[in-house]
Amino acid sequence: MKRKKNNLRQKKKNLNRQYNTLISHAWQNEIILRRCQQMELCLMQCESFASLTDVLLNDAPKKFELDQITLILLDPRYEIRRLLLASEIDYHKAFPNLFFQCKSQTVTSLFDAEKLPKLGTYQSDLHADYFQESQTIGKTIQSVAALPLVQEQRMLGCLLFGDSETDRFIPDSATDFLQHLGAVISICIDMALLRDRLKYNSLNDALTGINNRRFFEQRLPEEISRCKRAETPISCLFVDVDHFKHFNDTYGHATGDLILKQVASIIRRELRATDVVGRYGGEEFVILLPNTNHRQALDIAERIRKCIQKHRCQYEEHSLQVTVSIGIADFQKFADENKTLHEIGQALVAAADSALYKAKQAGRNRIAINSGYTCQYSETAV
């Protein structure tokens, strides 16, 4: 009888232990589920790829109590990096744990062949390139979880969770939460990139690859506001390809397109990173030069004019010389509080356009300047 009672007590202890273990696991799963849900909501609210990346790489490690998270994306055509650069984000500095690869084999080696999350110990040959020095002093990455990012059978990349605890990610453990989270992140990345592409295409000229008029008109009041606060001058250049209709009528529209592409490329090459250039319409380009007065703008305009004049546009058996006329306007006085930023911007562009008209009247392939609020022109001799 006594032995039977002892057996019952032992069974009860074992059942209590199992019960407590199950309760503990349930609470842990509940915590993980809540964290995943919070993360999913944050990701779904991101309006751009940059903001989504910030959530993944800077916010998520704190939410999940991880030492590091690394995002690796396939970008063989440099498209994602181009979108980041277009948004004026130094992603190398902002996201040191963001990596890009051109070959899918480099990414697929990080997780299971079935495209399922892979959990296990840190392996230097696989993971060393993707984890920076731990932000927690004295700790190094010991265990890693690799989440494949797949959207509609298309491989996007991989998300790596790294932690200094050796048993944080155990091989062959349940990965339902991670698999679900990876699927949600994949959808969010795909949607964020789609929004960025639509925005990029709406603000860039498809033919020349530079910004379009809409982008320029959005940036114009921003740059004027910045120069107004700093009390620095700002100049505008209006560039027009001389006799462009002649090229189209004589050699065809394909030649005209090629000329516009090459002119846009030369203009962009001769400008600073802080300058704003856009195709205003047809064969016209407009340039905004912050912190630049009309004398400095004249040097930039003359450099652009000479480079285009020296260039030869090769099309089939034709070697074509192209020239441009340029109008310059600058505003150095921003004391008139009655004018809005939009009105100042429109006046600046209109003044440059008027100067361009003067340059074309004077014989083309030259520059005319409209300085300040007056219409005093000076023309460069060619």
* Measured distance CA(10)–CA(16) in Å, rounded: 10
Structure tokens belonging to residue 169: 């990610």
* Measured distance CA(66)–CA(99) in Å, rounded: 19
Asked whether the beta carbons of 259 and 249 are under 8 A apart, the reply is no
* Measured distance CA(360)–CA(148) in Å, rounded: 59
Cα separations in angstroms, 285 against 240, 265, 377: 6, 12, 20
Amino acid at 281: G
Chain mean position to CA 74: 15
Task: Provide the phi-psi class of 112: left if phi over 0, else alpha when psi is between -120 and 50, else beta.
Answer: beta
Place of tokens 């008209």: 357
Structure tokens belonging to residue 136: 């927690």
Structure tokens belonging to residue 376: 């005093």
Structure tokens belonging to residue 199: 């925005």
Catalytic residue ranges: 283
Structure tokens belonging to residue 206: 């498809």
* Measured distance CA(286)–CA(165) in Å, rounded: 57
The dihedral sign for the CA sequence 24, 28, 33, 34? positive
